[in-house]
């Protein structure tokens, strides 16, 4: 599934196409319309030009203000920039935390990282800032009404805030839930070499296996994390379609319009 999904960029990680996925209505997500990525701060000029030529017309940034300031996007040529922070202040996913900050919090309990991520995924459904960000994300998607033009959306690692964005967008398009989960888990294939290097470096620096276990939980995706978000959606909001309608304020006409724009 990854062979033709990873985009050819040298200064970025986990840049993926969402085209080609089947829906439950026997349609298919169009190519060159939806791209999920990690941060854009490391893009080369050639990467920026490549993404522009690929069709990127909107860059949606789900990061916090601090993350944006520390590592500003190198926006693809000709694209508009949309700053839609999922969290009200700091990055609660810890994608941009320092090693000292992580050591202080994740050195005593080897399940702390896992529990933290489950909590983060629940907050990405319930926090007003997250709901506002994803509402505005859908407004950007709805405005992308030209063929072969893409909305690129990202956070720092391209896995959690971006993962929920992809889950919501693909759910709105009625993509098979199992396909959505499989796409979500593709992140691990892209980030695992970096995670293994981080784990080895942490061990060389004398960190405990408890710390390494927690760092791996923070640095990867897990079906349990997405399931935690889905459980909140189902129990507190009545399911994903009700969440899209009642919380993100997408009408039936809005959803039909999205399907016309993004499905073949």
Per-residue pLDDT reduced to its tens digit, 184-226: 999 999 988 888 888 888 788 777 888 888 888 999 999 999 9
Pairing of strands 16-17, 56-61: unpaired
Domain extents in the chain: 16-262
Give me the helices (H) in 99-204, please.
99-105, 112-126, 128-143, 161-172, 177-204
pLDDT value at residue 248: 98
- How do residues 166-190 score in pLDDT, each as one tens digit? 999 999 999 999 999 999 999 999 9
pLDDT value at residue 2: 44
pLDDT value at residue 198: 82
Residue 20 is classified by DSSP as T
Low-confidence ranges of the chain (pLDDT < 70): 1-3, 90-108
pLDDT value at residue 106: 65
Please give the share of the chain, as a percent, with pLDDT higher than 90: 77
Q: Using the structure block, give the residue that is written with the tokens 């784990």.
A: 199
pLDDT value at residue 88: 84
Residue 155 is classified by DSSP as -
Q: Give the CATH class of 16-262.
A: alpha beta
Would you say the C-alpha torsion 133, 99, 48, 191 has a positive or negative sign?
negative
pLDDT value at residue 258: 98
pLDDT value at residue 60: 98
Distance in angstroms (rounded) separating the CA atoms of residues 225 and 120? 8
Distance in angstroms (rounded) separating the CA atoms of residues 210 and 106? 8
Closest CA to 251 of 259, 234, 34: 259
The size of the chain, in residues, is 264
């Amino acid at each position: 599934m990854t062979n033709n999904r990873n985009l050819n960029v040298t200064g970025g990680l986990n840049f993926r196409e969402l085209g080609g996925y089947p829906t439950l209505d026997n349609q298919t997500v169009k190519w060159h319309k939806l791209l999920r990525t990690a941060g854009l701060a490391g893009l080369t000029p050639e990467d920026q030009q490549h993404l522009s030529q690929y069709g990127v017309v909107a860059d949606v940034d789900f990061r916090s203000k601090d993350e944006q300031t520390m590592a500003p996007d190198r926006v693809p040529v000709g694209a508009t920039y949309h700053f839609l922070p999922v969290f009200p202040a700091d990055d609660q996913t810890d994608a941009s935390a320092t090693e000292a900050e992580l050591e202080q919090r994740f050195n005593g309990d080897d399940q702390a990282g896992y529990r933290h991520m489950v909590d983060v995924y629940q907050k990405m459904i319930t926090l007003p800032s997250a709901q506002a960000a994803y509402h505005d994300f859908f407004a950007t998607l709805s405005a992308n009404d030209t063929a072969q033009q893409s909305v690129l959306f990202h956070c720092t690692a391209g896995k959690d805030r971006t993962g929920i964005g992809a889950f919501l967008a693909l759910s709105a398009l009625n993509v098979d839930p199992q396909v959505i989960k499989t796409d979500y888990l593709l992140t691990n294939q892209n980030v695992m070499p970096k995670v293994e290097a981080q784990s080895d470096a942490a061990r060389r620096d004398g960190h405990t296996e408890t710390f390494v276990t927690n760092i791996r939980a923070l640095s990867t995706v897990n079906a349990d994390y997405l399931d935690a978000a889905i459980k909140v959606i189902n129990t507190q909001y009545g399911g994903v379609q009700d969440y899209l309608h009642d919380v993100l304020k997408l009408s039936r006409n809005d959803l039909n319009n999205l399907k016309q724009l993004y499905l073949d």
